[in-house]
């Protein structure tokens, strides 16, 4: 990898009943629980305008990822041929960013209850964005 690097800071962390990576579903829509996203009070004013019921994109940092992997068996299924990580959602990838579309269920100061989300307890959150209504933006 080139030497250039960019620094991300945690905006906050996920508090979830999912404690281990091997108990997390592959995607939020596959039976994941709701979780609390607690942001650092110093940046909580950046949440102004988000209301319960909104759909948002949470970008996480998969802190337990292996970053030196370029090919995986999708969904960990060895019957599926090895595929480039950029053609998969594997958390193991050079820059282990996770993308989660969730609904905001409740807001309590600097905490958002969101779900469903497959990120495990303690996962850092590095960005939050609104879902845009135009179809060109749907993920």
Q: Is 106 in the site for its own copies (CB under 8 A)?
A: no
- 16 DSSP 8-state letter: -
The minimum distance between CB 19 and its own copies, in angstroms, equals 20
Q: Which of the residues 4 through 63 are near its own copies (CB under 8 A)?
A: 4-11, 27-29, 40, 42-43, 45-50, 54, 56-57, 59, 61, 63
Closest CA relative to residue 122, chosen from 33, 28, 34, 38? 38
> Cis before residue 28, ω within 30 degrees of 0?
no
Cα–Cα distances (Å) from 86 to 81, 89, 97, in that order, read: 14, 7, 11
Mark out the alpha helices in 14-122 (DSSP H runs): none
- For residue 17, the minimal CB distance to its own copies (Å) is 19
> Which residues contribute to the site for its own copies (CB under 8 A)?
1-2, 4-11, 27-29, 40, 42-43, 45-50, 54, 56-57, 59, 61, 63, 70-71, 82-89, 93-95, 97, 99, 101, 116, 124, 126-132, 134-139
């Amino acid at each position: 990898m080139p030497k250039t690097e960019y620094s991300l800071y945690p905006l906050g962390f996920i508090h979830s009943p999912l404690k281990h990576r091997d108990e997390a579903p592959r995607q939020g829509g596959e039976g994941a629980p709701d979780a609390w996203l607690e942001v650092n009070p110093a940046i909580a004013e950046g949440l102004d305008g988000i209301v319960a019921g909104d759909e948002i994109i949470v970008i996480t940092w998969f802190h337990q990822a292996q970053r030196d992997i370029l090919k995986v068996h999708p969904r960990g299924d060895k019957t599926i041929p090895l595929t480039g990580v950029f053609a998969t959602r594997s958390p193991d990838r050079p820059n282990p960013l996770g993308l989660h579309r969730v609904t905001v269920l409740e807001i309590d100061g600097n905490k958002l209850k969101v779900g469903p989300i497959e990120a495990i307890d303690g996962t850092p959150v590095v960005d939050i964005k609104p879902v845009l209504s135009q179809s060109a933006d749907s993920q």
